[in-house]
Homo-oligomer: A and B are copies of this chain.
Amino acid sequence: MKKRIVLLPGDGIGKEVMNSAKEVLSAIAEEFNHTFNFETHEIGGAAIDSYGTPLPETTVDACKQADAVLLGAVGGPKWDQNPSHLRPERGLLGIRKALDLYANLRPVKGFKKLLHASPLKEEVISGSDLLIVRELTGGLYFGTPSERRNNGQDVVDTLAYSRKEIERIVDKAFQAAQGRRGRLTSVDKANVLESSKLWREIVEEKKTQYPDVVVEHVLVDAAAMKLITNPTQFDVIVTENMFGDILSDEASVLTGSLGMLPSASLNESGVGLYEPAHGSAPDIAGKGIANPLAMILSAAMMLRYSFNLNDEAKLIEDAVEAILDSGFHTADLKVQNGRQVGTVEMTHLVVDYI
């Protein structure tokens, strides 16, 4: 198989962990006789510094021609005071919109060896394995008008959705539930928001097409509680952009190993952007201690979701599990009596396993 992969390292530890993903993918290519052509482009703060914009056109063009995109992370204190259109996050929002990456998949699953680092009691978190499906290109983060009014005395943002936008993400979530334990929790605020009412109607309409999936509706405030009190009750959670932003970050800390969580953002044609759930961690950037595993597991998600290379994906996931089981860990993972390694050494452990 021959694939064109665009690498967007971005800022902070993004560059370091991207190198790790590339090495691991090269090992996979060699082992399974694939050809992966890599092309690196700028996004976020790095792009602002070199091109004066967080999302240069060359980056967008390259991504549009790619079979898949890997992204490290964007942002850092250097650009925090910039005006809106010159903020690193704009690059991320822009590429999501440009590629129409409407479906953000965030799996959250504990690693046995790491559960002790969870802020939750072991009996609460143990056994949890959920997938948040977040709508990523609509809602409050993209709706217009989004502006000041009356000389800056008033301000307005707009939460807008079309029926089609809701239908496609709901379909995606039903399909994901079919491939998992067959349970779907739709999260909304249907007791208050008109958009949530439409959302709930569409979920109800769609469920007749997926008779093998059991559906429940939970209000967003209740969902924020249940994720903590009883995370094992969830299989797939589907929700709109902003609720998904909050709930997926909330969920990401439950297992105690944010540095291990990958994510995928997909469009209708199967092209995807894959990135770790963690940020650019400017405080540890350049020190060689960043945990590359979330980035490496994101590459595994790419193999599975965009290239349908399930064996290859599984090999990477098995490698990670085995390495953790033998006690290796990076500085962020507080493993007792383990052996702490840096970014490069952890990467080599994965490559060697492959």
Give the contacts of A180-231 with B (CB-CB under 8 A): 189, 191-195, 197-198, 220-222, 224-225, 228-229
| Alpha-carbon separation in the docked complex, A188 to B221 (Å) | 17
Q: Is A136 an interface residue (CB 8 A)?
A: no
Residues on B with beta carbons closer than 8 Å to the beta carbon of A120: 119-121, 228
Whether A157 is near chain B, meaning CB under 8 Å from some CB there, is yes
Q: How far is the CB of A248 from chain B (nearest CB, A)?
A: 8
Known A84-B197, A152-B198; contact A191-B89, beta-carbon cutoff 8 A: yes
Closest to A227 in B: B250
Residue of B nearest to A221 (CB): B249
Once bound together, how far apart are the Cα atoms of A141 and B146, in whole Å? 17
Min CB gap A8→B, angstroms: 18
Does chain B have a CB within 8 A of A163? yes
Residues B249 and A225 in contact, CB atoms below 8 Å apart: yes
Partner of A146 from the list B118, B164, B194 (CB cut-off 8 Å) is: B194
Contact A159 B161 (CB under 8 A): no
A34 interface residue per 8 A CB criterion? no
Interface residues of A in 146-174 (CB under 8 A from B): 146-148, 152-164
Contact A249 B229 (CB under 8 A): no
In the bound complex, residues from chain B placing their C-beta under 8 Å from that of A20 are none
Measured in the bound complex, the distance between the Cα atoms of B164 and A86 in whole Å is 29
Interface residues of A in 104-158 (CB under 8 A from B): 118-121, 124, 140-141, 143, 146-148, 152-158
The distance from the CB of A205 to the nearest CB of chain B, in whole angstroms, is 12
Residue of B nearest to A245 (CB): B221
Contact A157 B224 (CB under 8 A): no
Minimum C-beta distance from A16 to chain B (A): 22
Report the Cα distance A254→B121, complex, angstroms: 12
* A246 at the B interface (CB under 8 A): yes
Interface flag for A41 (CB, 8 Å):
no
Is the pair A225, B245 in contact by a Cβ cutoff of 8 Å? no
Docked pose: A118 CA to B125 CA in angstroms: 13
The answer to whether B191 and A87 touch across the interface, beta carbons within 8 angstroms, is yes
Residues of B with C-beta under 8 A to A119: 120-121, 124, 228-229
Beta-carbon contacts under 8 Å, A233-270 to B: 242-243, 245-250, 252-254, 258
Query: In the complex, which residues 307-341 of chain A have their Cβ closer than 8 Å to any Cβ of chain B?
Result: none
A344 at the interface (CB under 8 A from B): no
Contacts A224-B224, A225-B253, A228-B228; A195 near B156 (Cβ below 8 A):
yes
- Nearest-CB residue, chain B, relative to A249: B221
A91 to B26, CA, bound (A): 61
Q: How far is the CB of A75 from chain B (nearest CB, A)?
A: 8
Interface membership of A27, Cβ < 8 A: no
Report 17 cross-chain contacts, Cβ distance below 8 Å, ordered by A residue. A89-B191, A119-B120, A119-B121, A119-B228, A120-B120, A140-B159, A141-B192, A146-B193, A146-B194, A155-B162, A155-B197, A156-B194, A157-B195, A225-B252, A225-B253, A225-B258, A228-B253
The 10 closest A-B pairs by CB, nearest first: A221-B249, A224-B250, A157-B159, A155-B198, A119-B124, A225-B253, A146-B194, A155-B195, A89-B191, A156-B160
In addition to A93-B192, A155-B197, A158-B158, 15 A-B residue pairs with Cβ atoms within 8 Å of each other are: A119-B124, A119-B228, A120-B120, A140-B140, A140-B193, A153-B162, A154-B160, A155-B160, A155-B198, A220-B245, A221-B246, A221-B249, A224-B247, A225-B252, A228-B253
